[in-house]
Structure 1
C-alpha cells in the first residue's frame, strides 16, 4: 500500500475538502481524488462521502482513520531516525489531564522543542483513567496524569512530578476554626468520585465520618475553584498548581489529619516505538515541574 494514498485520505477527511487537501499536498484536486479512489479500490470499501462541497468519512472510513494516522506517524518517525540519528524528530503522542494541560505540559513542550526543533507533537486531553487506557493500549506514547489507585502493569513505567496534599478550599473571606466542622456544615462542592482526586477526598470524608451537604459534583478543579470563589460552597481537593487561582479570591486550609496524596506524573509504555521522544519529554518536564513546585 502506498502511504501517499493514506496521506491523501487523511487530509481530505480532516480538512473536509479535496481542494483544500490538494493545496496542502501541493497537488491537483484530480490527483488527490485519484489517490483516494486507489486506496478505496485496494481496500474494497468506500471511504469518503460527498455532501455538496463538503467531504467526510464513511463508516468504513471512520474505522480506519485512526489507524491510518498511526501508520503515517510511524513512517514519519522512521524517516526522522534515518535522516539524523543525533537530532530527535518525529511526533510524540501525549495525553494530559486538564490541570497539567494548563501548566506543566506547555512549559515542558517549550523546553523540548527548543532543544529538538525537528520534533512534532499531538496532544489529547482527558481524564487520568481514560488516558491511562490509551497509553496501555498503545494509542498514546505517554500521558501526564494522576497515578491510578491500583497497581500499574509491568509494561508501563511511571515517574512522579508532584505530590499533592488534600486541602479544604474556601472563599478567602471565610474564617475556618475547625476544618472538619466546616466540611460538615457548609454547602459542599464535591470533586468527581470517578477521578483519582475525588476518590481520595471521598475516602478522607468517610474515614472521619464527615457527611457534607453536597450542592453539586463535578470534574474540573478550575471550575470548582470558581464556584468556591463565588461563595457557592467549599470543597476538598488536591493542592494543584496555584497559577489557576489567579483572579480568584480563595483560600486553602490544611487538613488536621494525614491523608493520602495525589501523585501527578507521567505514564508511558516501555515498548513504545517513540521511547527516545518520551525520554526527551520526561527530561524537559522535570525542568518544568521544578519551576511549578517552588
Structure 2
C-alpha cells in the first residue's frame, strides 16, 4: 500500500478540499483524485465523499483514519532511523507564543544555514498543552516553560533562558516601589492557565498582594500594549524581544521574584533523537547569539526602570 496514497487521503480529510490538499502536497488536483481512486480500488470501498462545499470521509474512510495516521507515523519513524546519521528528516516541534517571535526566527535561519536537511513542523501552544503532546508522542520536542513538577525519566530537558519577572507600568506612573505599584494600581494579569502566569500568581500570593484586577490575558504582547495605553500595570516575564513596536512602558525588576525558565523538552527514546540533538544544539547557539545582541549596558542594568 503506497504511503503517498495514504498521505493524500489524510490531507484531503484534514483540509476538506482536493485543491488545498494538492497545494500542500505540491501536486495537481487531478493527481489527488487519481491517488484517492487508486487507494479506494485497493481497499474496495469509497473513502471520500462531497458534503456541501467540503470533502468528508465516508464511513469506511472514517473507520481507517486512525490506522492511516499510525501507518504514516511509522513510515516517518523508519525514514528518520535510516537517515539519522545524515541529519535529514522531519521534526515536529511545539513552541510557546513568546518564543515564536523572540527565538524561532533566529533558530530557523541557523537551521537553514547549518542543517538544511532538517524540516520542521511547528505547533504553537501553551506549555501545558505542548507537554501533553510530548507525552502522547505527537511532538518530538517543545520550546516551553519548564514544568513545575518532576519530569518522568523518559523525558529530557535543557534550560535555554531564565527570564526575570518585571513590573511594567505606563510612563505616567512615577512610583518606583514594585510592591506599592502592584498593590495600588489597576492590574492586568498574565493568564493563570499559562505556566508563566502560574509563576506570577504564586509570587503575588507569596507577597500577600491582591491586585486590583482589570483584565486577564494570555498574550504578553497584548498585555504590554494595554499597559502602554495607560489601562493598568502588570507583572510579566522579561521575554526575548522584539516587544510590540511603539509600546513604551517602564520596566521595574520585581526583586525576590522567581524566574520563568524556558527550555527544550524531548523524549529520550525518540527515534528522531539525532535530529533532536542537532535541533537543540542550534537552539543553544541561537539563544546565545540573541542574548549577546540584546544584553543591556552596565548603565541600563543599574537603572530601576526604563522605557522599552
Shorter chain as normaliser: what TM range? 0.7 to 0.9
CA shift, 1:11, in A, is: 3.1
Aligned to 2:117: 118
Match in the other structure for 1:207: 206
Tell me what 1:271 maps to: 269
Report the Cα offset of residue 12 of structure 1: 2.4
Aligned-partner Cα distance in 2 for 1:199–1:22 = 43
1:289: which partner in 2? Answer: 287
Q: What is the CA-CA distance between 1:61 and the residue it aligns to?
A: 4.9
**TM-score, with length taken from structure 2:** 0.84
Alignment partners' CA distance in 1, 2:262 and 2:212? 29
Are 1:236 and 2:239 matched, yes or no? no
Residues 171 and 7 from structure 1, CA distance in 2 versus in 1: closer, same or farther, beyond 3 angstroms?
A: same
Supply the distance in 1 between the matched residues of 2:273 and 2:126 (Cα, whole angstroms). 23
Instruction: Using the TM superposition, give the Cα deviation of residue 197 of structure 1 relative to its aligned residue in structure 2, in angstroms.
Output: 1.6
Structure 2: 5+ residue stretches without partners? 293-308
| More displaced 10-residue stretch of structure 1: 242-251 or 48-57 | 48-57
How big is the shift at 1:112?
A: 1.3
* CA RMSD across the alignment: 2.6
Show the counterpart of 2:6: 6
Aligned residues: 289
- After the TM superposition, which of the residue ranges 121-130 and 166-175 deviates more from structure 2? 166-175
Q: Which runs of 5+ in 1 are unaligned?
A: none
Q: Give matches, 1:107-256, under 5 Å.
A: 107-256=106-255
Distance in 1, Cα, partners of 2:144 & 2:37? 43
Name the TM-score, length of structure 1 as normaliser.
0.87
Partner of 2:260: 262
Find the aligned partners of 1:122 and 1:8 in 2 and give their Cα distance. Answer: 17
The CA deviation at 1:207 is 1.3
Farther off after superposition, 30-39 or 269-278: 30-39
1:86-101 matches, cutoff 5 A: 86-101=85-100
Q: CA deviation at 1:69?
A: 4.8
The separation in 2 between residues aligned to 1:63 and 1:227, in whole angstroms, is 48
Alpha-carbon spacing, 1:19–1:267, altered in 2? closer, same or farther (3 Å) = closer
Change (3 A) 1:66 1:86: same
